[in-house]
Amino acid sequence: MQLSIEPNNGIPIYEQLVRQVKYAVAEGVVAPGQVIPSVREMARQLAVNPNTVQRAYLQLQDEEVLHSLRGRGMAVSTGAKRKCVSDRQQLLAERLEAVLDEAIRGGLDPDRLRDMFEKALKNAVRSGENPT
């Protein structure tokens, strides 16, 4: 599981970590039962404070994405993939809604917005079909 943190992107580091773990679970990069790096190891890999990683892991545990294995660390919970896929879709829906709200408030005509969306969707599908 390869994660990266962007300290200056406006999203708290622990939240970036939560999102990336959820994305990794949703995409099947980490499977149910798989042990994830310890707090210390993850903090070292990402060059962040261990308390930040601990906060993210606790949130993931509260959301039943991770569970504690006595003496072994944290592992991905059974059923986590379904939850992570759902959470990811919800986050994307919220981001899309924010973009649409900004466009409408900025005076963009709904028909023009629809055209822009269709073009962007076609480009995204095309680039997804031909990864480089």
| Total of domains in the chain | 2
40 & 70 share domain: yes
The pLDDT-based confidence of 131 (bands split at 50, 70, 90) is low
Residue type at position 110: P
77 & 94 share domain: no
Kindly state the DSSP code that residue 6 receives in the 8-state scheme: -
Report pLDDT digits (tens) over 85-126. Answer: 999 899 899 999 999 999 999 999 999 999 999 999 999 898
Domain that holds residue 107: 90-129
CA distance 82 to 25: 9
Q: What pLDDT is recorded for position 79? A: 92
Asked whether residue 24 is assigned to any structural domain, the reply reads yes
Q: What is the CATH number of the domain that holds 35?
A: 1.10.10.10
Asked whether residue 8 is assigned to any structural domain, the reply reads no
Report pLDDT digits (tens) over 34-67. Answer: 999 999 999 999 999 999 999 999 999 999 999 9
Report pLDDT digits (tens) over 71-83. Answer: 888 999 999 999 9
17 & 37 share domain: yes
67 & 112 share domain: no
18 & 73 share domain: yes
81, 26 contact by CB (below 8 A): yes
